[in-house]
Amino acid sequence: MNERHAVKYLENQPDAFKEIIRDALENDGVYYEQFLDSDMRILASRGIFEAPNVNVGISECTWALKPKVIELIRKHPECLMASKKDTVNQSEE
């Protein structure tokens, strides 16, 4: 996937996922959540986070943003902006 497609791929993630990614970036690329958390499993399957070791059990564990994802976001921080659709929905509430 070239850089332009990778940026578009991140832009098209749901805002809830973008929020998790932003939180991880603010914490040096690390996010703490349970191993079986469905959002984190999806983000790992999409190639954005590295899944923790399977042997950690069900307790909270460390999920890490992939280095290429961090590099891409630093070059294109706009890719994590909230989508227009969700911005409109929030302003209506």
pLDDT above 90 covers what percent of the chain? 69
**pLDDT of the residue at 52:** 87
Of the candidates 70, 82, 77, 40, the one whose C-alpha atom is nearest the C-alpha of residue 58 is 40
**pLDDT of the residue at 84:** 64
> Do residues 65 and 24 make contact, with C-beta atoms less than 8 angstroms apart?
yes
Assign 3-state DSSP to the chain and report helix, strand, coil percentages, each to 5. Answer: 60, 15, 30
Instruction: Report which secondary-structure segment, H or E, holds 61.
Output: strand 60-65
Tokens, residue 21: 């990614």
**pLDDT of the residue at 92:** 52
**pLDDT of the residue at 73:** 95
Question: Would you put residue 29 in left (φ > 0), alpha (ψ -120 to 50) or beta?
Answer: left
> Do residues 60 and 2 make contact, with C-beta atoms less than 8 angstroms apart?
no
Tokens, residue 92: 């209506």
User: 65-91 pLDDT, tens per residue?
Assistant: 999 999 999 999 999 998 765 544 544
The pTM (predicted TM-score) of the whole model is: 0.82
pLDDT < 50 regions, the chain = 87-88, 90-91, 93
